[in-house]
Amino acid sequence: MGLEKTNTILNALAPGEIVNLSNVNNSLKEVFTGLIHKKQNDRILYITATDYLAQKKAAALEKVLQEEVLYFPMESIHDYFSDVHSQEISQQRLSVIEKILSGSRQVIVVGVEALLKKSMPLEKFRELTFTLVNEETWDPLDLVARFFALGYEGVYQVEARGQYAHRGGIIDVFPPTETQAYRIEFFGDTIESIRCFDPETQLSTKAMDFIRIPPGREIILETAERQKALNLIRKRYDGIPEYAGLLERIIEDQGAHDETLFSFIKSDASFIDYLGNYICIWDEPPRIKESQALFQQKIHKDFETLISEYFMFPEEKNKFYTLSKIEKAMEAQAHLKLHMFTSRGKKGVSLDMKSKDNDSFLGQLPLFIEFIQDQLKKNAIINLRARDEVGLKKLKGLIVEADIHRFTTASMPGIQLSIGELGSGFELQEDGIVCVNQSEIIKESLAGRRRRRKKGRKIDSFTQLNQGDFVVHDTHGIGVYRGIEQLKIDNTIKDLLVIEYANDARFYCPVDQMEAIQVYVGTGEKKPKINQLGTNDWNKSKARVKAAVEDMADELIALYAKRRALVGYAFGPDSSWQSEFEEEFPYVETNDQLQAVEEIKADMETARPMDRLLCGDVGYGKTEVALRAVFKAVMEGKQVVFLVPTTILAQQHFQTAVDRFKKYPISVGLLSRFKTKTEQEKALKDLASGQMDLIIGTHRLLSKDVVFKDLGLLVVDEEQRFGVRHKERIKQLKENVDVLTLSATPIPRTLHMSMVGVRDMSVIDEPPAGRRPVMTYVMEYSPAIIKDAIERELGRQGQVFFVHNRIHDIFEISRKLQKLVPEARIVVAHGRMTGPELENIMVDFLKEEYDILVTTTIIESGLDIKNANTLIIDNGDHMGLSQLYQLRGRVGRSDVQGYAYVTHKPKVLTEISQKRLKAIKDFTAFGSGFKIALRDLEIRGAGNILGAAQSGNLATIGYELYCRILEDAVQRRMGEEQGLIPSELIINLDVSSYIPENYISNEELKYDIYKKLSYVKTQTDYEELEDELLDRFGEIPDGVYNLMALAMIKHLGRSLGMTEIRERGHSVLFTFDGSKEVPIPEAELMKKLFDRYNIKFNAGKGDQLRWRILLKHEKDQNFLMELGKFLKMLIPQKN
């Protein structure tokens, strides 16, 4: 693009003018956008034909501009009809609006359909946005009311965007447009401080002078506007029976139906009103026109259906403008219309860019240097685009090495070096301009391209507890948690945890002993047996489990030791081909993947046979990690077996392996029932002769007729899905070869830690880059909406999972769907079908021979069908959260937007279903419901790893206690130094120790703080908890300080071997465990202690020893501090 042409384009881009460019390839479109953004002073509105293309283009432009590019997504139509839906898209739209209004100059990329929706007037949005400043006066209750009016959700603890929480003089809020939440602390009616805080830890991170608070939704009506709209609706539709349900829902919660009410208010505002002055770039105008016409047609049809079913009022069909109306509103702006092919615009300047794509120079450096030299002879401007600074230096080095030094920074002949790769290079022959990307010249090394790990939601300890949950007490067993009660004796107040046991017996547990209590987490839906107080049943159960765990630990250690003693094959370091193979992976690996690869290779390079377990959800990149191990083995002449439980998985892995290894001399075979007898015989012959390097297959590979010439690596996918006989054969195969086992069920980190030293594990819990969150809707089952959801998916050439978990009427459901969507090709699959029957159906669905798979929950694990991106769950209120979590994981597995519809029957819900539905609603917001789902799923993973017998033991005593017993058994057998097992210690001191209601009123939060108190062992722990309480809840009351001091005293007392600390008058009695050595201080310190505390010794019961000290005190805290000092003095000092 010569200077003359560039200037022509830039000068012609004046308000109200149009510039048409033809023969512009995709990368040149990005260059033009970058150039205009640099030279002109306005923001840019970049319009594409669809929302999907907008997302892609935004990602491409980000690489070029290295500045803010905003993608404005299309809002889903189904948001209006669900009880609750995931908020990611709404929040992203609000975030874009907020950034536009802040006045910065961005490129906003939008699919044409997102431009057509009516919006709240700009002035109104501005009025609703407000700022909070330090030292400003606000009534906290008025501020809370303001948040509520702006569409924020009130919760007890802020965890997600669009929420607020009020605790005394502290208000937390998480604006939908921000990446961090804010904590506002008041002194009376004055804002004393504003701080950012991390919703994950709930701790403040930095102070702020002021914050902006935008509306929580795009459309917010005032009370008067709502009333006016409601009066109009009543006037038109009151008394019409079909509209009664819709009217009732709106009246019940008017604020939640602002979208509906807005249709009855006159407004002609749209998104473009928010932009001010801008330059509009149209990417393929004919395609945009065609796409929006289809969208309008579809939306009109959808709305007509929904109106006929009384889900909408007729007035709501006017939610979208026509494109011509939007174009008219944009007439005053400058327009650049980009065409990939030859096209002449009816108005404005038209130029033909005559761009052409470059050939690739990948791996052909001499050819690239020759090309550069030819272009320099022609006096061309050569623009070489690097990925980053490192790439820039690398490119310059290559050019200089070839003795070429014609570098330039101006728009003149020579070599320009710049950062920011385009989608692909191009050449403008007429203008003498060439553009080449770094990745088109030299292979990209991904090793340095690790993504920054996003904070996961991995749950290390299951601390959340609600009334009615099952709990485990170390001494008394499994009971039901009934909450926290306060007990007042004379002037002393204490908090007690109430646990209900069999026959309505209640146990009151002092909070200083709560480390003896854990949330009960079993292995399935089955309820645990509640124990009876005063019987020996619990101790028997515990002893039985302990014995079984001891046996398992012995077995594990013996197996581990046996494998370590074996001598296998030690692979050498990576070859150059290995590096090349890994660099060809087209995606950026996650940190977890890279870590797993390093661990596996380190195992393979030792002489002892590898036995490693690789855990991670389906689609998290386990196969790629395994293929790198396969490649390493084959490069040294070893054969590899890749064993999978189903034919369909074998087919998928085979296809992946063939694609990845196609450039290398690696022979890949498949052995499954889909292969003919002749094909199977040839594969077996090639294996025996060593002509086949990698064989992928089902249990057919475990047959006696399968013989290998030199087996070096065995990869087993989902071993727990093989039968006992097959597992025995796998054991035989494992002898002396490296083994990598893959599991798609995540496992709890605590179990992982308990098994360190007896099981080598690698865990991938980081999703791949580019995944879009699945849009989740919870709604009443409506044929109209289901029909619409299916048609939308089929309209984008996708497929649908329809989950109905009852076999007896699944074919009836399929017939109803066929009537609803006659053009769809539907197939049914359920668990009572034979294996081959099911696999045939799945393979056909994978080959896209069907559009809808009506199925039971058998699809919840193992399937990877990237083209199926809509999931409809019938009677979702009858399913467990972990099931829903896994089902939802079947869609949205690529960069295509996934949708999940969790439906329930209209109206009548049982109390249990209502509770479950509430949990599902939480689950869409990635709050506590999400945590529970993940918890249940991880426990299922724990069951898979431990095996059926141990799963039963885990269910008997609960997960956390099981892990403690396992860890203890393993450590003792590994000869690790065991810390002194602390004695059980009872504290009886007449001090008030409780959390007042006016400090923390929510029981779940109280429990959480009590759990944290039980971990206070050192001065550092004490200070960290003190900082957290001050930060989250404000000034700490005496009762809470006493709890913290008691936690320290308890830890010190236990480490000294004490079993009781009891107050008696002005004295404190310390009882020591007679079976342990009593610490006796040195003579000099002993004398000090005698003088200060008047120590007395006497014998307790049996062989117990008692010390008595004199402590005169006036105040609780001073008394406890003095007691703490005394105990610290007794602790032996380490040299």
Average pLDDT over residues 911-921: 60
Let me know if residue 328 belongs to a domain: yes
Q: Does residue 727 sit in the same domain as residue 615?
A: yes
Q: Does residue 417 sit in the same domain as residue 345?
A: no
User: Is the Cβ–Cβ distance between 530 and 503 less than 8 Å?
Assistant: no
What pLDDT score does 379 carry? 87
Q: Does residue 795 sit in the same domain as residue 827?
A: yes
Distance CA 1032, CA 517 (A): 25
User: Is the Cβ–Cβ distance between 656 and 630 less than 8 Å?
Assistant: no
Let me know if residue 1007 belongs to a domain: no
Q: Does residue 663 sit in the same domain as residue 577?
A: yes
CATH number at residue 209: 3.30.2060.10
- If pLDDT is split at 50, 70 and 90, which confidence band does 1126 have? confident
- If pLDDT is split at 50, 70 and 90, which confidence band does 599 have? very high
- If pLDDT is split at 50, 70 and 90, which confidence band does 669 have? very high
Q: For 536-560, what is each residue's pLDDT tens digit?
A: 999 999 999 999 888 888 887 777 7
Q: Which of 12-16, 145-149, 269-273, 598-602 is predicted least confidently?
A: 12-16
- State which of 397, 416, 440 marks the end of a domain: 440
Q: For 1039-1062, what is each residue's pLDDT tens digit?
A: 999 999 999 998 888 888 888 898
Q: Does residue 237 sit in the same domain as residue 291?
A: no
DSSP bridge pairs for 299: none
Residue type at position 479 = G
Q: For 156-191, what is each residue's pLDDT tens digit?
A: 899 888 999 999 899 999 999 998 899 999 999 999
Let me know if residue 17 belongs to a domain: yes
Is the pLDDT at 462 greater than 50, yes or no? no
User: Is the Cβ–Cβ distance between 614 and 765 less than 8 Å?
Assistant: no
What pLDDT score does 459 carry? 35
Is the pLDDT at 1 greater than 70, yes or no? no
Let me know if residue 559 belongs to a domain: no
Let me know if residue 544 belongs to a domain: no
Let me know if residue 973 belongs to a domain: no
Residue type at position 945 = I
Distance CA 1052, CA 487 (A): 26
What pLDDT score does 252 carry? 85
Let me know if residue 521 belongs to a domain: no
- If pLDDT is split at 50, 70 and 90, which confidence band does 927 have? very low
Quick one: angle between helices 1019-1033 and 1003-1013, nearest 10?
160
Q: Does residue 717 sit in the same domain as residue 576?
A: yes
Q: Does residue 811 sit in the same domain as residue 852?
A: yes
- State which of 934, 959, 983 marks the end of a domain: 934
Percent pLDDT > 90 in the chain is 32
CATH number at residue 276: 3.40.50.300
User: Is the Cβ–Cβ distance between 913 and 878 less than 8 Å?
Assistant: yes
Q: For 745-795, what is each residue's pLDDT tens digit?
A: 666 655 655 566 666 888 887 777 767 778 888 888 888 889 989 988 998
Of residues 517 and 1117, more confidently modeled: 517
Greatest mean pLDDT among 336-345, 526-535, 593-602 lies in 593-602
Q: Based on the structure, what is the number of domains in the chain?
A: 7
Copy the structure tokens of residue 527.
């309820």
- Please state the pTM of the whole predicted model: 0.75
Residue type at position 566 = L
- State which of 707, 729, 764 marks the end of a domain: 764
What pLDDT score does 446 carry? 47
Distance CA 57, CA 77 (A): 23
Q: Does residue 228 sit in the same domain as residue 321?
A: no
What pLDDT score does 365 carry? 81
Alpha carbons within 13 angstroms on the beta-carbon side of residue 133 total 5
Let me know if residue 640 belongs to a domain: yes
Distance CA 267, CA 961 (A): 62
What pLDDT score does 140 carry? 94
Q: Does residue 842 sit in the same domain as residue 927?
A: yes
Q: For 204-263, what is each residue's pLDDT tens digit?
A: 999 999 999 999 999 999 889 999 999 999 999 988 998 888 888 888 888 888 888 998
CATH number at residue 1097: 3.90.1150.50
User: Is the Cβ–Cβ distance between 483 and 982 less than 8 Å?
Assistant: no
Q: Does residue 861 sit in the same domain as residue 797?
A: yes
What pLDDT score does 979 carry? 47
Is the pLDDT at 46 greater than 90, yes or no? yes
State the CB neighbour count (10 A cutoff) for residue 169. Answer: 15
Task: Determine the Cα angle at 334 with ends 330 and 339, to 5°.
Answer: 95
Q: Does residue 1122 sit in the same domain as residue 1035?
A: yes
Residue type at position 453 = R
Q: Does residue 719 sit in the same domain as residue 862?
A: no
User: Could you give the C-alpha distances from 493 to 500, 1043, 1102, 1119, in angstroms and in order?
Assistant: 22, 11, 33, 16
Copy the structure tokens of residue 749.
């980190």
What pLDDT score does 453 carry? 41
Range(s) of the domain holding residue 660: 566-764
Alpha carbons within 13 angstroms on the beta-carbon side of residue 211 total 23
